[in-house]
Structure 1
């Protein structure tokens, strides 16, 4: 029947698209062998913007202060917290002379806007080189600052790092969160490797202060609640000014959400920023997602119809082999190889979840960073 043939040839086209993504685009990062830079020991301002994060700051500030980098300051931004976040910051400041506190008071025009608070912190920073993380993040080694900032050079003004989420045993939600984080990293690191950087994560990102002011800060998207990391990078990153840092000593680990509702709210804020990416980036991201959906849909339909089933099975096998090999190589770089034990299940769950978030954001828009 004609409809069966249309579905079959559509499936071949979709598999070809998937092979381009996994074999070429993501494969570029899978095959990437980074050059180990020399020690620079440059002055660095580590910036943390915190809102009601007293407990996390108590745990994570000592890990940052214990970094082996010779010259750095820690800029702590209290974004109008209602708990004792400011008191915790002040307690550390009395014991360490390399801590600077920026206490942000509410301003009606920028109420609830993290970008406003970050702008004040960046202006207060002493050093030209800025390294960002979150209050609930901890560096996984005492070489985090050095590993990230050693990548700066005369041509590289933005350093994109990786920030996984902490593993919680026996939690399917945690497994899905970590897989989603991994797959997001696969994409933004791969595109950056190909010279098409489109985003980064604020829990492990560095750039020069001059880069911030040359772009007029966050003003181009100040009215958007999220995007202090990805929208800024999407705006200022070029084929030549970005460098990756994926050494295991450069990773930061964050505390994941523990309820589906809280994760949905978080991802709604994150995903809503994608509408403001550059057209090419939106097209490539949308095409990848659509090809995933159609791959699974057409593979199932054609299998049930038993139409050209031998070819269908062969194409499915080829796609899975290329996907697995590529993701395995990347997972070893990012120390996430155990996630691949559940690859098909997690892929289906993630596709479904992303569709759910897309529909939710069509109905209503998320507000405020916390």
Structure 2
């Protein structure tokens, strides 16, 4: 096998193309996927302005047959180190001991209140109805939404979320992570989170997560609540935030104190249903994020194909597989550093040698679940909390 260094035009084009798609990929990782970590470090340096006041807050907890979860996690909400707050649990027609558990807690915690939706109440989205009732019952202007299967990781969770409500800020996007997921499921959720957080940090918010989300009560009613999406099962968080959030009124909170951990009995089923739900609502979101990250996926596969082509060209010239290997290692190192930094601050699991494989199957898996969602539209395929 000869080693020669006289390149033909087609070989030059292949090398140039490989470098170009690598540069595009590095741009995405440095500009978008690293944005939450960069913001996290900016906060650590004290460069972000927060409110010195601690305004009164209403925490709204959605519950449906959650007696066990309420027994385990509700004390973590009720014992927050915050001067003035109430916790309102909205009982969505539970048939277990939820009501008894709440009544017991009410004796011990004067700032706990409960309301409920009768089991026979008819609504296409009972979650939207529950959140609306909770907001109407709230005494305070700032409301923070979560669910009964959630647990704040710190007693300063409320303080971390509420500090963002400086003048002009109406919405705070918090982060909630699911415990005990597989490595691929962690990768999938982390990449999903990095995308919507990075857009919000670039002053283009397009969605939020209702497991850890705060906004002003007056903003909710000024925009007529969820009235525009009452015909949809979902939309109490992503579609509503997409409608009301803009470049000036929204902030991101991802400090360690602000994290929420979510527990599901069937973690894989919950992860799958989250994907199906997002596929259902994503077509209604008004944002350029799909084209932006769609191009990132195109260039990612173009990069892998170009590296494969360089390896195959090694039959004729050993220079090509060497260049291909160098380019692959460069991207992998950037990807590994940025992904694992982000995983650490978002409560996810780190990933190492599996990253390229996860990256390769990411789009096919999303297409697979999109097809499942397409063929399941007419079915009662709803996860109770997500």
Residue 221 of structure 2 corresponds to 213
How big is the shift at 1:209? 0.7
- Asked whether the 8 Å contact 2:51–2:165 carries over to 1, the reply is no
Aligned ranges for residues 238-257 of structure 1 at < 5 Å?
A: 238-256=246-264
- Asked whether the 8 Å contact 1:43–1:128 carries over to 2, the reply is yes
For residue 186 of structure 2, the aligned residue among 178, 188, 191 is 178
How big is the shift at 1:79? 1.1
What secondary structure, in the 3-state scheme, does the structure 2 residue paired with 1:263 have? helix
How big is the shift at 1:332? 4.1
In structure 2, list runs of 5 or more residues that go unmatched.
Answer: 1-7
How big is the shift at 1:65? 0.8
Please list the CA deviations of residues 229-253 of structure 1 after superposition, one character each: whole Å capped at 9, or x if unmatched: 1111111111111111111011111
How big is the shift at 1:321? 2.7
Q: Distance in 1 between matches of 2:274 and 2:96?
A: 21
CA distance 1:108–1:76, change in 2 (3 Å): closer
Mapped pair 1:264 → 2:277: no
- Asked whether the 8 Å contact 2:336–2:351 carries over to 1, the reply is no
The worse-fitting range, judged by mean Cα deviation, of 310-319 and 217-226 is: 310-319
Please list the CA deviations of residues 55-85 of structure 1 after superposition, one character each: whole Å capped at 9, or x if unmatched: 1111000111111111111010111222222
Residue 38 of structure 2 corresponds to 31
For residue 203 of structure 1, the aligned residue among 196, 211, 220 is 211
Aligned ranges for residues 126-145 of structure 1 at < 5 Å?
A: 126-145=139-158
How big is the shift at 1:104? 0.6
Residue 58 of structure 1 corresponds to 71
Aligned ranges for residues 275-294 of structure 1 at < 5 Å?
A: 275-294=283-302
Instruction: List 4+ stretches of structure 1 deviating above 6 A.
Output: 1-9
Residue 67 of structure 1 corresponds to 80
For residue 346 of structure 1, the aligned residue among 355, 358, 364 is 358
Alignment length (residue pairs): 365
How big is the shift at 1:5? 8.4
The two structures, once aligned, show a CA RMSD in angstroms of 2.8
Please list the CA deviations of residues 109-131 of structure 1 after superposition, one character each: whole Å capped at 9, or x if unmatched: 51453112111111111110011
CA distance 1:339–1:310, change in 2 (3 Å): closer
- Asked whether the 8 Å contact 2:149–2:263 carries over to 1, the reply is yes
Residue 339 of structure 2 corresponds to 327
Please list the CA deviations of residues 34-59 of structure 1 after superposition, one character each: whole Å capped at 9, or x if unmatched: 22635422110001111121111110
Please list the CA deviations of residues 303-340 of structure 1 after superposition, one character each: whole Å capped at 9, or x if unmatched: 34548434433332332233233334433433547345
The structure with the largest alpha-carbon Rg is 2
- Asked whether the 8 Å contact 1:112–1:368 carries over to 2, the reply is no
- Asked whether the 8 Å contact 2:174–2:253 carries over to 1, the reply is yes
Q: Distance in 1 between matches of 2:263 and 2:211?
A: 11
CA distance 1:364–1:114, change in 2 (3 Å): same
